[in-house]
Amino acid sequence: MIKTLLHPLKMSKLHYSKSEGPEGRKTKETKMELSITKPDDWHLHLRDGDLLEAVVSHSAKHFGRGIVMPNLRPPITTTASAIVYREAILKALPPSSDFTPLMTLYLTDSTSSDEIKLARKSGVVFGVKLYPAGATTNSQDGVKDLFGKCLPVLEEMVQQNMPLLVHGEVTDAEIDIFDREKVFIDRVLRPLTQKLPNLKVVMEHVTTMDAVRFVESCKEGFVAATVTPQHLLLNRNSLFQGGLQPHNYCLPILKRETHRQAIVTAVTSGSKRFFLGTDSAPHERRRKECPCGCAGIYNAPVALSLYAKVFEEAGALDKLEAFTSFNGPDFYGLPRNTSKIKLTKTPWKVPESFSFSFGDIIPMFAGETLQWLPSV
C-alpha cells in the first residue's frame, strides 16, 4: 500500500515532519511510506564460514526467504550436502530471525535422476542451478554436456516440477563477453525450452533486451527471470568512470544503456514474468581490489532501497510489491509471505564498508545517500 496524498483512497494515515519554509515559517512536509508484503530474494549468495556469518543478517533483515546459490567450494551437488549447508545458515542467523533459506543443487554432468527425486522429497531443495563450466565464481565444476549427459536429469526435473535456474552465458573464449547472454539464448536456452516445454526455467540476473524479449516470448508460468539492482541502475560505463571500479564488476557483466532501459521497462510494466533476485555476492575487499579481482556486487543491505528507487523513477511504485513479493512465490508455487515491511521516503547514507575480523566488505553504492529506508 502506498501512503501519499496522490492516492488518498489507499491511505490509512500520513506522517508529517516540520521543516523551515520561506521566511522562517514552519511548513508541513509529507513523508511517503510504502507498506508492502515482505519480499523474498530469489537469487542469493550467502557463502560459508566467516563470510556467511558476516552477511546473512543483512538478507534476513529485509527478506522472508532466499534461494541460496550452491557454488561453494566444494559445490552443493547433493541433497545431503544441501541439508548440511541449510543447517549452517540457520545456525548463523540472528536469534530472532524467521528467515528461511531455500536450497538449490549444483548441476553437473554426473548428477543423477535419483538425486532429483531425493531433492524433491527433502522439502528443502527448491531448484537446480545450471552453471556453464567457467561462467562465473566457482563454476569450474559446471555443465559441459547439457543435451547429452544432463538430459535424463532435466526430464526428471519436469516430472518433479523442479525449476532449472540458469546462469545464461556461453563461455567460449571467441565470444565477446558482452554478447554471451544473447548467444546462450540462441544456442542453449531456446532449444532447451523447445525440447522440454514443461520444464520450469528461471533465467537468472538478465542483462539484455534479448533476454527480456526471450522471456516475454515464452509460455507464462514456465519461463521467468530474476533481475538485480545493479542491472536496473548501472550500465557498462559504471565499470570505468573515474577509473576502474572493481566493486561494480559482476557476471553477467553490465551492458549498454539501451539494455538497462529495456530491463527497467519490463520490470516496471507489471509483468508477472520478472521478480526480485539480488545476486548479492559478497567478497572481502582485498579479493575485489587486486590484479585479478572477483566478480560480484554486495547489495543485500541496499537492495530494497534501490528497487524502490527504480520503480519510483519509472512512476510505477504501485507495481513494486508484485515484483518484490508476489511474482517469485507464485512462479515457484509457494505461498506469499504474510508479514509486512515498511519503506519510508527519508534520506540515509550507505556505509562506506562493513568491517569484520577477516577484512572489509564494500556494499553497492558505498558512501552514497539513498532515499528509501526499509524497516520491519
Q: Which residues are catalytic?
A: 43, 45, 129, 167, 205, 279
Which residues lie across from 365 on neighbouring strands?
none
With cut-offs at 50, 70 and 90, classify the pLDDT of residue 31: confident
The total number of residues shown for the chain amounts to: 376
With cut-offs at 50, 70 and 90, classify the pLDDT of residue 9: very low
pLDDT at 8 exceeding the cut of 80: no
Question: Are the CB atoms for 325 and 39 separated by under 8 Å?
Answer: yes
pLDDT at 170: 94
Tell me the mean pLDDT in the region 2-15: 35
pLDDT per position as a tens digit, 132-167? 886 666 567 789 999 999 999 999 999 999 999 999
pLDDT per position as a tens digit, 270-308? 999 999 999 999 999 999 999 999 999 999 999 999 999
Question: Are the CB atoms for 255 and 206 separated by under 8 Å?
Answer: no
pLDDT at 12 exceeding the cut of 50: no
pLDDT at 7 exceeding the cut of 70: no
With cut-offs at 50, 70 and 90, classify the pLDDT of residue 22: very low
pLDDT at 16: 37
